Amino acid sequence: MIRPRLLLIDDEPVLADFVASVASDCGFDPSLTSNDAAFRESFLANRPEMVALDLGMPGMDGVELLRFLSDQDYQDPVLIISGFDRRVLESAFRLGEALGLNMVGPLEKPVRADDLEQLLNQVRPTLVR
């Protein structure tokens, strides 16, 4: 069975590794990036079946990436994982929906493994083409 690709951008290596490990256990093929340029390059080179992104990172913000994904006419699930408070997460989620993105989540940091597993296990069957 083909494992859907999950492209993750997060500047915290421990959290990125944790998310990648859970995603792999849930049947995804995770790919990690830690900055905007690497994320865009990876996305364009090998379009993923799912994207997970952090909203707050040095030198960029997640809203720019939501716009980038919308500009690419990306239709697959987009998960926000962030340490911002719930109101910020929900407004970013609504913005993603307004941009026409297929938003899932959001999940607050610190992410609990069972919350992430549940979400990924719900989404994965919709991605196997």
Task: Convert the pLDDT of each residue in 50-106 to its tens digit.
Answer: 999 998 887 777 889 999 999 999 999 999 999 998 999 999 999 999 999 999 999
Cα 116 from chain centre? 11
CA separation for the pair 108, 43 (Å, rounded): 24
State the sign of the Cα–Cα–Cα–Cα dihedral 52, 112, 94, 84.
negative
pTM: 0.95
**Which residues form the domain of 43?**
5-127
pLDDT at 1: 66
Q: How far apart are CA 129 and CA 109, in angstroms?
A: 31
Number of structural domains (the chain) is: 1
Q: Confidence band (pLDDT; 50, 70, 90) for 47?
A: very high
CATH code for the domain in which residue 53 is found: 3.40.50.2300
Per-residue confidence (pLDDT) for residue 24, from 0 to 100? 98
Helix and strand totals (H; E) in the chain = 5, 7
pLDDT tens digits along 16-45: 999 999 999 999 999 999 999 999 999 999
What confidence score (pLDDT) does residue 2 get? 86
Residue 5 has pLDDT above 90, yes or no: yes
Q: What angle do CA 73, 78, 84 make, to 5 degrees?
A: 130
Cα dist from 87 to 82, 83, 92, 106, 128, whole Å: 12, 11, 9, 11, 32
What's the pLDDT at 57?
80
For residue 61, the model assigns a pLDDT of 78
pLDDT at 59: 77
Helix, strand or coil, per DSSP, at residue 128: coil
What residue type is 124 in one-letter code?
R
